[in-house]
Amino acid sequence: MSNAFAFRHAPLKALCLLSTVATLLVKLPGWMVLLAFPSARQKHSWSFKRALLVTIFQHISPALNKVGPIKASPDFQSITKSKVATGVWCEPKPELITGRVKTWAEAAKVQTIRVPGYWYGSPQSQIATGARAHSDEKVFYHFHAGAYIMETAHPQGISTPVITGLLEKTKTVNRLFSLEYRLSSSAPFPTANPFPAALIDAVTGYNYLISEVGFEPKNIILVADSAGGHLALSFLRYLVDTSVLPVPGAFIGLSPLCDITSSHLANHDSSLVSGTDVVGRLDKGLLEWAWKSFAGPLLDDPNDGPTKNPYLSPASISPDIESTISFKGFPETFLVSGGAERIRDAVRTLKQRLVRDLGEEKVTGYEAPDGVHDFLALTWHEPERTEVLDLLSSWVDRNH
């Protein structure tokens, strides 16, 4: 375990943050001088503003990941009030969990529980956010980012710009429901909520939209960014494998995490070693801890571990997965990624497999050449952010 995690809830949190800020202030003038020259920027095509902001992100991210959240974040245990979104509870339905996922849940001591979610409405909507679905009404169903160990569906969360951006741009969808799924942890903190906890929660939230609110599955558009994208892929696989509920009408994956084995390091000039991403210099120990916390008992399982399990690493180029995985039955998909992000290669592999199994007409992909990880969540990442929101809204309004 990295010493980084010793700080997450320690009295030294404030000291660590102050030290990081002080170092930032010392280095900032030098960065500003250096990055004034395009040849010194992470990518020569980047503007001075983007190069500086990415540099600052890369500097402060390791410190923030050492100390943990600066303030308490909403989680699945309660609903936190907001002027922007309305929280509701989704009641569990254990009979919807079956097959291998049920077996994995029993091994991980994960139960089906009630979880909250937050309703968001578009600026022009006159529909009450939690109201019964209108005839043939469409809705976004959203899973947030955060590596399965942090962040929230509440408006405090990092993914909120994704939510508000889609609702502002899309004309035919007026509501979005973001699920507050369980987050994982492991030693030196209490072990909690390993896989398939979040997947079970995703089924609970989906059943709420169908059974309680009355949306038809064909009118539900799954939207997910970063780790939320990973959750979306495992959720869709579960629906296809078990048929406990119909698959949603469409899927939008925004920088979806899709290979926790790092198998793409085998590629020449692998994007995993890129220094151009906002997460390019995150503490390696944190990522290892995140995947350990998430995978739980399956981490070292010889039969269902990450190198063999399509639920855990659907884009892995491990021979055990590559030779057997299928995406047949998945809905029409739009994948967004950035040419400057660390998981670029894995998302490319994911797209190739989706096209192979669904056909080119059902898979749309957009890779912003200068885009970093999950750039729709970064309001300063222009013009790419607005360009992609326009593409997504047109795709949704035209096809779904």
Instruction: Count other Cβ atoms within 10 Å, centred on residue 177.
Output: 27
Mean pLDDT of 40-51: 87
Q: What are the pLDDT digits (tens) for 103-161?
A: 999 999 999 999 999 999 998 888 887 899 999 999 999 999 999 998 999 999 999 99
What band does 64 get if pLDDT is binned at 50, 70 and 90? low
Residue 3 has pLDDT above 50, yes or no: no
Mean pLDDT of 164-169: 96
Mean pLDDT of 254-279: 77
Nearest Cα neighbor of 342 from 288, 233, 291, 269 is 269
The pLDDT value given to residue 55: 82
Residue 63 has pLDDT above 70, yes or no: no
Pair 144, 75: CB distance under 8 Å: no
Residue 1 has pLDDT above 50, yes or no: no
Positive or negative CA dihedral for 20, 26, 27, 33? positive
Q: Please give the Cα distance from 351 to 329 (Å, whole number).
A: 15
What band does 67 get if pLDDT is binned at 50, 70 and 90? low
DSSP 113-143: --EEEEEEE-TT--S-TTSPPPTT-EEEEEE
Q: Please give the Cα distance from 186 to 291 (Å, whole number).
A: 10
**pTM for the whole thing?**
0.91
What band does 12 get if pLDDT is binned at 50, 70 and 90? low
Cis ω for the linkage preceding 196 (within 30 of 0): yes
